[in-house]
């Protein structure tokens, strides 16, 4: 049986990695770059497994894949399975019921080492990328490693067959893998950051660099000890600098990941056999203790943190975080002593790989069963209240359109009051049992264009077949903007069918109609593709001879210039120019003001406060929202452009109920549910219909 010599420097390096991750996740100031701890783990893993595999091939002429996978199973699966099951139990007790369905899906994927694909795909959806993190989101890195192990061991076994110089053959293979994977990492980080962050294809080079060092480690040790020692210390210093100076994980890994990766390789190069090297620090007992338990610490800390936050129902205080950290350390110590070490060092299991494979199968099965059971769990969220479906009746009439000298009078809502049902809902504090959509399905209550891919994401071109309403209608209406424009679709589609309009859907997640480069805070990248998409939208509207364009976007979009919310002076500068440009194309603009913006996710908030839902309701708008609305109101009045202000319908005295009758108003953090938009359809029709008909009649 082949083993890599235990190295105290690697144990200490593991400690640095997990400490960095814990500091980052527990929100310790000055450690925003602590996520590089995962990259350190990747380099160490590549170094260790390649050392073991290549040494075995060189010394015995063969590689036992069964022995290799047996070691990986004993090392990784038992504690990961225990954490999965424990997290599911804790989630049933403490987590908001609305998050259980996604967690069940995540657990099943984690059990079969594919949860990184789930998170990558979830991150490509502008809506789901804003969801709160999964309690097992940290399993993505474990999935990446397991996928690498599955491929890499077999690849080394194959490419080294018949090689005179095994290390050179494997090293050449590694160089190709590193170059290709690094190129993919640099490329995907800008164009598809979610897949870049979570993907094996963009992370393999990190493990590959550790593997390359392992292949040629003997030659590397011929470097004078003093130089190796200096390289090692520089590596430790750079890791510390990365933890302190790197910002959030946006734009990672990309090319910048080369810094902590090379630094880790430098520490490994120094080794534990040179005097005055990093082992002086890495070898101290506290770090050795933490390093030995680093895997358990990593596996336990995140679900404890997320479940603890759910239990508290608010942001954790420093004292609460310290308490959770102590719980993490305690569980990790127990897991190391009673699960990790006994199974990894078991003589019976070491000598019987077939038994280990059965153990691994059991661990996988336990995760799958847990995920299935959690998916079928039906939490009791009944309050015993049945609500009456609300009716729609405005308290003050919107100024509707007539024509003066053949010119339609712009829509104004200056004198419009809240809908009567909204006023009646202000005092409601209890969630009705007949809520539509239900709290457990609210996040999926979206318009049709999300299901048929007409609502785009990361696109520069237009999807030409997204024409709705009456395709043969004589009036063409375009809906243009981001997801806050898309939320109007269901109402507009019904109205377009009734009034015989052609309705063109031109919406894309995170892409405003304003001519700016947005910064997407969820993906951590500048959405440069929006500029090209906007140009194509303009060409397409002219091509389709649009009569009217409805403009909608989220006021909370950030400008890439300063990564802050788009300021009102930007609106003041760009909005009049857009109005003039659209009219020059023969298209009449209509502004759709933004909807109220709840701070928390409404379904989660009211699921935790089923008898005090008023605490979840949006109230007076933020200063930036008021400023933008004032600018838009002034610009539309000056240009004689219609301005629809949904907040006037949905709020009474700056209180915006989250439940109206039996209808849930918001499906997430800041989007209206499709159900409430369908309920609003008659009001929207009364407001927009006469004006658009008048424009088309000109």
Residue 360 shares a structural domain with residue 408: no
Which of 60-69, 163-172, 282-291, 522-531 tops mean pLDDT?
282-291
Q: How confident is the model at residue 616 (pLDDT cuts 50, 70, 90)?
A: very high
CA distances from 422 to 427, 650, 676, 686 (A): 10, 6, 11, 18
670: CATH: 3.40.50.1110
Res 392 pLDDT > 90: no
In a domain, 394, yes or no: no
pLDDT digits (tens, 9 = 90+) for 359-388: 999 999 999 999 999 999 988 888 999 999
Residue 318 shares a structural domain with residue 456: no
Residue 371 shares a structural domain with residue 409: no
Residue 461 shares a structural domain with residue 371: no
Specify the residue for token string 């788009």: 566
Residue 125 shares a structural domain with residue 209: yes
Residue 354 shares a structural domain with residue 442: no
Which of 201, 287, 325, 239 shows the shortest CA–CA distance to 36? 239
The whole-model pTM stands at 0.85
In a domain, 395, yes or no: no
pLDDT digits (tens, 9 = 90+) for 641-695: 999 999 999 999 999 999 999 999 999 989 999 999 999 999 999 999 999 999 9
Least confidently predicted of 58-62, 199-203, 482-486: 58-62
In a domain, 398, yes or no: no
Q: How confident is the model at residue 191 (pLDDT cuts 50, 70, 90)?
A: confident
Residue 282 near residue 12, CB atoms below 8 Å? yes
Residue 100 to residue 85: CA distance in whole angstroms? 13
Res 2 pLDDT > 60: no
Which of 408, 366, 442, 353 shows the shortest CA–CA distance to 659? 442
Residue 233 shares a structural domain with residue 299: yes
Residue 56 to residue 2: CA distance in whole angstroms? 6
Residue 410 to residue 132: CA distance in whole angstroms? 41
pLDDT digits (tens, 9 = 90+) for 532-556: 999 999 999 999 999 999 999 999 9
The count of structural domains within the chain is 2
In a domain, 1, yes or no: no
Residue 604 to residue 99: CA distance in whole angstroms? 8
pLDDT digits (tens, 9 = 90+) for 259-288: 999 999 999 999 888 889 999 999 999 999
Residue 415 shares a structural domain with residue 464: yes
In a domain, 393, yes or no: no
pLDDT digits (tens, 9 = 90+) for 551-596: 999 999 999 999 999 999 999 999 999 999 999 999 999 999 999 9
Residue 412 shares a structural domain with residue 360: no
- For residue 576, give every residue at least 6 positions away whose Cβ sits within 8 Å of its Cβ, in sequence order, or none: 635, 638, 639
- For residue 105, give every residue at least 6 positions away whose Cβ sits within 8 Å of its Cβ, in sequence order, or none: 118, 371, 375
DSSP SS3 for 585: coil
Give, rounded to a whole angstrom, the gap between the first and last alpha carbons of the chain: 87
What local confidence, expressed as pLDDT, does residue 131 receive? 67
Q: How confident is the model at residue 400 (pLDDT cuts 50, 70, 90)?
A: low
In a domain, 387, yes or no: no
In a domain, 397, yes or no: no
DSSP result, 177-204: HHHHHHHHHHHHHHH-HHHHHH-STTTH
pLDDT digits (tens, 9 = 90+) for 125-150: 544 555 678 999 999 999 999 999 99
In a domain, 432, yes or no: yes
Residue 414 shares a structural domain with residue 354: no
Kindly provide the b/e burial profile for residues 649-670, where b requires at least 16 CB atoms within 10 angstroms of the residue's own CB. bbbbeebbbbbbbbbbbbbbbb
Residue 604 shares a structural domain with residue 470: yes
Residue 486 near residue 463, CB atoms below 8 Å? no
pLDDT digits (tens, 9 = 90+) for 35-50: 999 999 999 999 999 9
Residue 16 shares a structural domain with residue 123: yes
Residue numbers of the domain that contains 598: 403-696
Res 395 pLDDT > 90: no
């Amino acid at each position: 049986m082949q083993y890599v010599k235990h190295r105290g420097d690697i144990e200490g390096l593991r400690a640095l990695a997990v400490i960095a991750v814990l500091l980052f996740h527990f929100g310790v100031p000055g450690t925003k770059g602590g996520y590089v701890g995962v990259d350190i783990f990747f380099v160490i893993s590549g170094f260790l497994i390649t050392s073991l595999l290549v040494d075995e091939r060189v010394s015995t002429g063969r590689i036992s894949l069964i022995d290799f996978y047996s070691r990986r199973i004993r090392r990784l699966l038992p504690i990961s399975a225990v954490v999965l099951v424990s997290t599911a139990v804790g989630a049933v007790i403490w987590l908001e019921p609305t998050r259980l369905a996604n967690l069940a899906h995540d657990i099943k994927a984690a059990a079969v080492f594919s949860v990184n694909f789930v998170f990558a795909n979830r991150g490509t959806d502008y809506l789901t990328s804003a969801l709160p993190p999964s309690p097992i989101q940290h399993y993505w890195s474990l999935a990446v490693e397991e996928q690498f192990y599955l491929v890499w061991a077999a690849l080394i076994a194959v490419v080294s067959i018949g090689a005179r110089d095994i290390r050179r053959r494997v090293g050449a293979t590694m160089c190709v893998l590193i170059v290709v994977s690094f190129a993919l990492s640099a490329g995907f980080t800008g164009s598809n950051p979610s897949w870049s962050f979570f993907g094996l294809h963009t992370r393999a080079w990190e493990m590959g660099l550790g593997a390359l060092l392992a292949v040629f480690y003997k030659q590397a040790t011929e470097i004078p000890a003093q130089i190796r020692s200096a390289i090692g210390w520089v590596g430790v210093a750079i890791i510390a600098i990365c933890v302190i100076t790197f910002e959030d994980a946006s734009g990672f890994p990309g090319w910048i990941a080369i810094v902590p990766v090379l630094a880790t390789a430098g520490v490994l190069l120094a080794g534990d056999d040179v005097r005055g090297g990093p082992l002086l620090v890495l070898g101290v007992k506290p770090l050795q203790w933490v390093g030995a338990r680093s895997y358990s610490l990593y596996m336990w800390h995140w679900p404890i943190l997320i479940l603890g936050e759910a239990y508290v129902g608010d942001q954790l205080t420093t004292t609460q975080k310290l308490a959770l950290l102590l719980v993490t350390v305690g569980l990790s110590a127990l897991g190391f002593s009673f699960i990790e070490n006994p199974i990894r060092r078991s003589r019976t299991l070491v000598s019987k790989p077939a038994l280990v494979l059965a153990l691994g199968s059991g661990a996988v099965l336990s995760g799958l069963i847990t995920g299935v059971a959690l998916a079928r769990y039906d939490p009791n969220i009944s309050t015993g209240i049945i609500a009456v479906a609300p009716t729609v009746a405005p308290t003050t009439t919107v100024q509707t359109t007539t024509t003066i000298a053949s010119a339609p009078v712009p829509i104004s809502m200056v004198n419009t009051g809240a809908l009567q049902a909204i006023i009646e809902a202000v005092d409601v504090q209890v969630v009705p049992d007949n809520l539509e959509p239900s709290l457990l399905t609210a996040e999926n209550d979206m318009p049709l264009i999300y299901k048929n891919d007409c609502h785009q994401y990361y696109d520069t071109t237009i999807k030409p077949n997204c024409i709705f309403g009456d395709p043969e209608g004589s009036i063409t209406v375009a809906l243009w903007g981001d997801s806050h424009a898309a939320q109007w679709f269901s109402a507009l589609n019904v109205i377009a069918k009734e009034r015989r309009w052609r309705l063109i859907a031109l919406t894309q997640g995170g892409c405003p109609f304003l001519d700016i480069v947005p910064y997407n805070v969820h993906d951590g990248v500048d959405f440069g593709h929006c500029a090209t998409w906007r140009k194509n939208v303009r060409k397409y509207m002219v091509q389709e001879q649009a009569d009217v364009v409805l403009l909608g976007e989220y006021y909370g979009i950030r400008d890439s210039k300063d990564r802050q919310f788009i300021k009102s002076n930007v609106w003041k500068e760009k909005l009049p120019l857009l109005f003039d440009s659209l009219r020059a194309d023969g298209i009449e603009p209509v502004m759709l003001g933004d909807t109220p913006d709840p701070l928390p996710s409404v379904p989660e908030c009211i699921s935790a406060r089923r008898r005090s839902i008023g605490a979840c309701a949006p109230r007076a708008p933020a200063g930036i929202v008021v400023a933008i609305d004032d600018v838009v109101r002034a610009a539309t009045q000056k240009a004689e452009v219609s301005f629809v202000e949904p907040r006037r319908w949905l709020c009474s005295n700056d209180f915006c109920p989250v439940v109206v009758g039996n209808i849930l108003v918001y499906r997430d953090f800041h989007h209206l549910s499709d159900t409430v938009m369908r309920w609003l359809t008659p009001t929207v029709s009364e407001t927009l219909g006469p004006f658009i008909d008048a424009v088309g009649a000109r």
